[in-house]
């Protein structure tokens, strides 16, 4: 039985009633604060009707309005140069950013969170997370071409973790695979700090011709407002305000009815129908329905177009005839879109809907005046200025407080942790790290996702980035990579956020693409906690500065607050996605060794940087100190070098060195195709003044390992020297060898290594 | 050589099948599920995906579509038909091939580069393979476990109607490692793996030589084109 948690007054409350009578309204239950309710009254010069109250409550929720984060997000639009904006066609504020990639094509991409629903109901939460972000991409006029997901789960040994892991992976698999979108990469991290607050971020990428760009705007008075797709039901009501904007209490998952339910088949049909609408130039504006449903779509379309709208709410096609007007306005039923259609195109619109058997109903029309009028039969139940709902939501400058605990944490560095001196101990640490849940092979998850569909996937997991071809004639392609190291951010949110960009940037560069633009999904604890707000402030400053240094702009993103249970917040987790462009995907660089006798080089400088590392976590259960230094000048030099060398055909493989250090990079490059190598570290240790532990496990930035054919040796080394990128030969690939032979350390048998690396997740979750 | 590809609502690999036909030298002809006009095609592919959302049973509703009914009629007269993944499920639901396909043994969707053995090269879609040749074709399905009663299995084995068998790993718990079937006339072939995703260097399965360079799937389409033309 569906039990309503939120009490909404029944019966129809009209604007006439609201003018003539005062009454107690459930603003608090709907998640509004007293002063917010007061300002609604001031805007309207009367109390809101219950429908208006429903609309304001969802649209002014943290999730929809960004009221706590707005003042910080502005930096992403301010810390930019003209050069950075060169390729930017649509920036922040729209459903997703749009970036020119050449050849008349543009790419739109965005990452969004669906964290809270995925804890309550992991399968549907994750599934509708994919569905929602894909509709955002679709609403820009683009064909969605790929998805990725960024997952954070609790401790692998906690009894509840398997429930969440299975549900989330199944949900993504079921929805994404049924939509026919290749899943080209992502992240999976386990840490007790995400217990009870798993993060499920979903990223989607779409491709469009420049002229097909669509905006969520209603500009022409008299145009029709049409709702199409799935029918409206009772799912997700109050999801936005009650779920995403409140901290979980200790009771755990009890708000099940507020999670939406997805139908990927309906969405697949919706995608194809929209593609046909775009091809035939039938629509004037379009908006997807996600959080806040019809309230959001109507008010945003009208507000963005400086217009108004008149809507007959009775025309909404319902799954459940008993829904009240308030519920219809708040419903977050999935797989729905709203189009603005000129009357002359109505026939064509209807033909396309009928072809795809998509239901639609005309709700009303665009008005020249900036007022949003919603009727229920003859009664007027909403009459508000649309911008007050969609744009002029409250802005908070929440208290910020430096967390004093961070000094102690920073002081507790890894320098006193014991280091192995015996080579066999180093060898067993390499295997221990490679088989730890966070560094282990993730194919138990990724093999549940379709990476082939659409036939354009050039790289996917476990390569450094996901690459898809966007033009079949020319081979033009894009790479996407995402990253966020919550531990680094816990130690230092400013540099942690910079490091997230640095790694995503480096990953994109390792595939042969040139980084071009950024998206982000900022996952944090409660904004009502001043220390969390400090973390948020520092992380956004770090990311904005890093983008400036790297010369690539943020195109859009998402904020997820309230990821905490009681007083315990998650690690600050600013997921950063970087999109890069490659002229021809035939020049892609794989991350593993496939040829014998190639020289292996380590690029960049290794410092003794073990704080916050996988080594500290896995071997010592330690988190403290300061994260590795980040220097975008060096990152860009490394990226440019790889790009230049690859264009000359010198790079047979490239793999970034990050979590787990050089050791983990060697393990991954070796296991990618199951090929061995002989490695020596003497020269590196001497040049950079390192002991064996630092040489193997340090997480210094701006580093990569590359394999280069013997014939290109001299050319490659002189290119590195000319560009000032430190280079040292550390080994040679050997396909005859069935081991990763590290001189003076150990010969690690590849089959044993593979078994250790691969079996961890199946053993935990199968 | 015109090869039709039927698009049902929920078809996913229909455009990929069209691309494969083109790369093999044929002319792809898009067909719409709701129309019984097969546009004078010489062969037809029922593509992968989740037709009609896999509601009822995988392929069950698609088996009733006007386009499928026309395919059934023409298949009985010898039209070459290739059913890939969901298309294989449709052929089984349409009783053009025997048995059934159920949820994978491990209950998960599985996507992997799958080794197969070509068990029967005497079909319209396998003529360019060697008998018992071992090939690698991407597999991606949630309900690919082949089942049949003992008598049917005996018949399939006895009449040489098993077109492909899984090697190394049985990814979905299929009986007798059956990956694909043919009919006794050899014009109909259905299989769970996706040959249309192993047709273009750079976008197929990994091989020991280079990343994503496997193109074993191309010969499915070349076989039918070669035979009809020749």
pLDDT tens, position by position, A431-490: 999 999 999 999 999 999 999 999 999 999 999 999 999 999 999 999 999 999 999 999
The minimum CA-CA distance between B73 and chain A, rounded to whole Å, is 25
Q: Does A263 touch chain B (CB under 8 A)?
A: yes
* Residue spans of alpha helices (H) in chain B: 14-23, 66-76, 86-93, 150-158, 218-229
And the tokens for A694?
Answer: 């630092």
Q: Which residues of chain B have pLDDT under 70?
A: 227-230
Task: Give residue A244's pLDDT.
Answer: 44
Asked whether the CA dihedral A185, A190, A191, A194 is positive or negative, the reply is positive
Q: Measured at the alpha carbon of residue A170, what is the angle toward residues A167 and A176, in degrees to the nearest 5?
A: 130
| CA B216 from centroid of its chain's CA atoms | 14
Task: Give residue A292's pLDDT.
Answer: 86
- Pick from A267, A23, A3, A250: nearest CA to A134: A267
Task: Give residue A32's pLDDT.
Answer: 92
* Residue spans of alpha helices (H) in B40-191: 66-76, 86-93, 150-158
Q: Does B53 touch chain A (CB under 8 A)?
A: yes
Q: Cβ separation of B108 and A174 shorter than 8 Å?
A: no
Nearest to B194 among A446, A452, A459 (CB): A452
For residue B33, the chain A residues in CB contact (below 8 A) are none
Instruction: Please say if the pLDDT value at position A238 is more than 70.
Output: no
> What stretches of B74-212 adopt beta strand conformation (E)?
81-84, 100-102, 110-118, 134-141, 145-147, 162-166, 178-182, 188-191
Cα distances (Å, whole numbers) of residue A765 to A165, B150, B193? 8, 34, 26
Q: Does B196 touch chain A (CB under 8 A)?
A: yes
> What stretches of A445-524 adopt beta strand conformation (E)?
457-459, 466-469, 477-483, 514-523
- Residue A655 among the catalytic residues: no
Task: Give residue A258's pLDDT.
Answer: 62
Task: Give residue A4's pLDDT.
Answer: 41
And the tokens for B188?
Answer: 């109909």
Q: Does A712 touch chain B (CB under 8 A)?
A: no
For residue B112, the chain A residues in CB contact (below 8 A) are 447
For residue A272, the chain B residues in CB contact (below 8 A) are 9
Chain A residue with the nearest C-alpha to that of B137: A452
- Pick from A494, A519, A438, A502: nearest CA to A194: A438
Instruction: Please say if the pLDDT value at position A255 is more than 80.
Output: no
Q: Cβ separation of B50 and A268 shorter than 8 Å?
A: yes
Cβ-Cβ contacts under 8 Å for A743 (sequence gap 6 or more): A678, A679, A680, A681, A682
Nearest to B211 among A179, A272, A590 (CB): A590
- Pick from A220, A235, A217: nearest CA to A302: A217
Active-site annotation holder among B85, B93, B119, B200? B85
For residue B9, the chain A residues in CB contact (below 8 A) are 265, 268-269, 272, 356-357
- Residue A63 among the catalytic residues: yes
Q: Cβ separation of B12 and A180 shorter than 8 Å?
A: yes
Task: Give residue A421's pLDDT.
Answer: 87
Least confident of A165-169, A273-277, B55-59: B55-59
Selected residues 85-114 of chain B with any CB under 8 Å from a CB in chain A: 106, 108-112
Q: Residue A320 — pLDDT band, cuts 50, 70, 90? A: confident
- Give the C-alpha separation, A331 to A325, whole Å: 10
For residue A269, the chain B residues in CB contact (below 8 A) are 9-10
Task: Give residue A528's pLDDT.
Answer: 94
| Predicted ipTM beyond 0.95 | yes
Q: Does A454 touch chain B (CB under 8 A)?
A: yes
For residue A450, the chain B residues in CB contact (below 8 A) are 109, 111, 140
For residue B12, the chain A residues in CB contact (below 8 A) are 178-180, 268, 453
Q: Cβ separation of B53 and A174 shorter than 8 Å?
A: no
- Give the C-alpha separation, B32 to B68, whole Å: 10
The minimum CA-CA distance between A603 and chain B, rounded to whole Å, is 23
Active-site annotation holder among B33, B196, B197, B200? B196
pTM strictly above 0.80: yes
Q: Does B117 touch chain A (CB under 8 A)?
A: no
Cβ-Cβ contacts under 8 Å for A593 (sequence gap 6 or more): A600, A652, A653, A669, A670, A672, A673, A675, A677, A707, A733, A735
Instruction: Please say if the pLDDT value at position A236 is more than 90.
Output: no
Q: Does A264 touch chain B (CB under 8 A)?
A: yes
pLDDT tens for residues A347-390? 999 999 999 999 999 999 999 999 999 999 999 999 999 999 99
- Pick from A288, A262, A128: nearest CA to A206: A288
Instruction: Please say if the pLDDT value at position A658 is more than 80.
Output: yes
Q: Residue A733 — pLDDT band, cuts 50, 70, 90? A: very high
Nearest to A450 among B19, B140, B200 (CB): B140
pLDDT tens for residues B155-164? 999 999 999 9
Q: Cβ separation of A594 and B10 shorter than 8 Å?
A: no
Chain A residue with the nearest C-alpha to that of B202: A458
Task: Give residue A9's pLDDT.
Answer: 41
- Give the C-alpha separation, A615 to A612, whole Å: 8
State chain A's mean pLDDT as an integer: 94
Task: Give residue B209's pLDDT.
Answer: 86
Tally the residues of chain A.
766
Asked whether the CA dihedral A623, A627, A494, A481 is positive or negative, the reply is negative
And the tokens for A512?
Answer: 């042969």
Query: For chain A, how big is the Rg over CA atoms in Å?
Result: 26
DSSP conformation letters of A254-311: --GGGS----HHHHHHHHHHHHHHHHTT--SEEEE-BTBHHHHHHHHHHHHTT-EEEE
For residue A170, the chain B residues in CB contact (below 8 A) are 108
Selected residues 470-499 of chain A with any CB under 8 Å from a CB in chain B: 472
Rounded mean pLDDT of A322-350? 94
Q: Cβ separation of B211 and A594 shorter than 8 Å?
A: yes
Q: Does B115 touch chain A (CB under 8 A)?
A: no
For residue B15, the chain A residues in CB contact (below 8 A) are 454-455
For residue A229, the chain B residues in CB contact (below 8 A) are none
Nearest to A455 among B16, B110, B210 (CB): B16
Task: Give residue A248's pLDDT.
Answer: 54
Q: Does A759 touch chain B (CB under 8 A)?
A: no
Task: Give residue A347's pLDDT.
Answer: 98
Q: Does A469 touch chain B (CB under 8 A)?
A: yes
Instruction: Please say if the pLDDT value at position A527 is more than 80.
Output: yes
Instruction: Please say if the pLDDT value at position A278 is more than 70.
Output: yes
CB pairs A-B closer than 8 Å? 95
- Per the CB < 8 A criterion, the answer to whether B67 and B30 are in contact is no
Q: Does A354 touch chain B (CB under 8 A)?
A: no
- Per the CB < 8 A criterion, the answer to whether B176 and B162 are in contact is yes
Q: Cβ separation of B203 and A458 shorter than 8 Å?
A: yes
């Amino acid at each position: 039985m569906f039990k309503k948690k939120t009490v909404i007054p029944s019966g129809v409350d009209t604007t006439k009633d609201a003018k003539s009578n005062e009454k107690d309204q459930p603003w608090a239950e709907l998640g509004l604060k007293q002063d917010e309710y007061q300002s609604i009254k001031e805007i309207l010069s009367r109390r809101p009707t219950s429908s208006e109250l429903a609309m304001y409550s969802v649209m002014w929720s943290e999730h929809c309005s960004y009221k706590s984060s707005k003042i910080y997000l502005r930096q992403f639009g301010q810390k930019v140069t003209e050069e950075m904006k060169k390729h930017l066609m649509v920036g922040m504020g729209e459903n997703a950013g749009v970036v020119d990639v050449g050849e008349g094509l543009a790419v739109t991409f965005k990452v969004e969170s669906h964290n809270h629903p995925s804890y309550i109901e992991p399968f549907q939460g994750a599934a509708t997370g994919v569905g929602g972000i894909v509709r955002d991409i679709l609403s820009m006029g683009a064909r969605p071409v790929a998805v990725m997901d960024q997952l954070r789960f609790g401790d692998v040994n906690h009894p509840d973790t398997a429930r969440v892991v299975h549900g989330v992976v199944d949900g993504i698999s079921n929805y994404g695979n049924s939509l026919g979108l290749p899943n080209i990469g992502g992240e999976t991290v386990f840490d007790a700090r995400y217990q009870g607050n798993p993060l499920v971020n979903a990223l989607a990428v779409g491709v469009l011709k420049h002229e097909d760009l669509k905006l969520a705007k209603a500009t022409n008075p008299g145009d029709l407002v049409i709702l199409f797709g799935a029918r409206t039901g009772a799912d997700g009501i109050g999801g936005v305000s009650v779920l995403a904007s409140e901290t979980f209490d200790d009771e755990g998952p009890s708000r099940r009815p507020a999670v939406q339910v997805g139908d990927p088949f309906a969405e697949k049909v919706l995608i194809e129908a929209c593609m046909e609408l775009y091809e035939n130039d039938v629509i004037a504006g379009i908006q997807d329905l996600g959080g806040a449903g019809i309230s959001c779509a109507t008010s945003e379309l009208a507000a963005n177009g400086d217009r108004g709208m008149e809507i007959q709410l009775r025309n909404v096609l319902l799954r459940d005839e008993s829904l009240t007007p308030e519920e219809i306005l708040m419903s977050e039923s999935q797989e729905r879109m709203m189009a603005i259609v000129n009357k002359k195109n109505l026939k064509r619109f209807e033909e396309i809907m009928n072809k795809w058997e998509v239901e639609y109903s005309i709700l009303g029309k665009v008005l020249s005046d900036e007022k949003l009028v919603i009727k229920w039969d003859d009664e007027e139940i909403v009459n508000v200025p649309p911008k007050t709902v969609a744009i002029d939501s409250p802005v908070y400058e929440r208290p910020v407080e430096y967390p004093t605990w961070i000094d102690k944490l920073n002081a507790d560095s890894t320098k006193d942790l014991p280091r192995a001196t015996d080579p066999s101990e180093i060898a067993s640490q390499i295997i221990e790290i490679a088989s730890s849940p966070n560094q282990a092979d993730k194919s138990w998850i990724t093999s549940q996702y379709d990476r082939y569909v659409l036939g354009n996937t050039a790289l996917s997991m476990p390569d450094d980035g996901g690459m898809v071809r966007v033009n079949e004639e020319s081979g033009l392609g894009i790479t996407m990579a995402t990253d966020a190291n919550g531990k680094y951010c816990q130690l230092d949110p400013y540099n942690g956020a910079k490091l997230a960009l640095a790694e995503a940037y480096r990953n994109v560069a390792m595939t042969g693409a040139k980084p071009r633009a950024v998206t982000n999904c900022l996952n944090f604890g409660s904004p009502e906690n001043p220390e969390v707000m400090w973390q948020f402030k520092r992380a956004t400053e770090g990311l904005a500065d890093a983008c400036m240094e790297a010369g690539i702009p943020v195109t859009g993103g998402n904020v997820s607050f309230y990821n905490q249970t009681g007083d315990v917040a998650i690690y600050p987790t600013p997921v950063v996605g970087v999109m890069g462009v490659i002229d021809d995907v035939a020049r892609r660089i794989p991350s593993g060794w496939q040829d014998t006798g190639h020289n292996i080089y380590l690029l960049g400088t290794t410092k003794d940087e073990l704080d916050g590392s996988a080594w500290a976590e896995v071997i010592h259960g330690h988190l403290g100190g300061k994260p590795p230094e980040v220097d975008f000048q060096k990152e860009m030099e490394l990226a440019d070098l790889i790009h230049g060398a690859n264009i000359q055909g010198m790079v047979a493989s490239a793999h970034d060195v990050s979590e787990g250090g050089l050791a983990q990079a060697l393990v991954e490059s070796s296991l990618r195709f199951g090929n061995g190598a002989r490695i020596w570290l003497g020269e590196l240790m001497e040049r950079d003044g390192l002991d064996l532990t630092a040489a193997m496990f340090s997480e210094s930035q701006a580093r990569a390992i590359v394999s280069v054919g013997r014939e290109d040796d001299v050319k490659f080394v002189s290119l590195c020297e000319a560009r000032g990128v430190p280079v040292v030969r550390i080994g040679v690939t050997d396909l005859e060898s069935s081991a990763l032979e590290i001189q003076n350390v150990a010969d690690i048998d590849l089959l044993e290594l593979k078994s250790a690396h691969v079996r961890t997740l199946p053993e935990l979750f199968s | 050589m015109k090869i039709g590809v039927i698009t049902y609502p929920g078809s996913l690999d229909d455009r990929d099948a069209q691309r494969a036909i083109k790369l093999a030298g044929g002319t792809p002809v898009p067909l719409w599920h709701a129309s019984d006009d097969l546009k004078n095609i010489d062969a037809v592919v029922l593509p992968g995906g989740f037709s009609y959302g896999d509601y009822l049973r995988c392929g069950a509703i698609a088996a009733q579509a006007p386009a499928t009914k026309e395919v059934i009629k023409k298949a009985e007269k010898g039209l070459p038909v290739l059913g890939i993944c969901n298309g294989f499920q449709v052929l089984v639901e349409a009783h053009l091939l025997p048995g059934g396909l159920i949820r994978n043994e491990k209950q998960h969707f599985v996507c992997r580069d799958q080794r197969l053995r070509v068990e029967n090269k005497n079909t319209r879609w396998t003529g360019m393979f060697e008998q018992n040749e071992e090939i690698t074709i991407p597999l991606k399905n949630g309900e690919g476990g082949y089942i049949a009663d003992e008598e049917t299995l005996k018949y399939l084995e006895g009449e040489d109607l098993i077109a492909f068998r899984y090697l190394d790993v049985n990814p979905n718990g299929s009986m007798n490692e059956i990956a694909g079937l043919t009919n006794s006339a050899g014009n109909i072939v259905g299989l769970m793996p996706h040959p249309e995703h192993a047709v273009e260097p750079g976008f197929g399965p990994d091989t020991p030589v280079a990343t994503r360079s496997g193109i074993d799937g191309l010969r499915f389409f070349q076989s039918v084109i070669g035979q009809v033309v020749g």
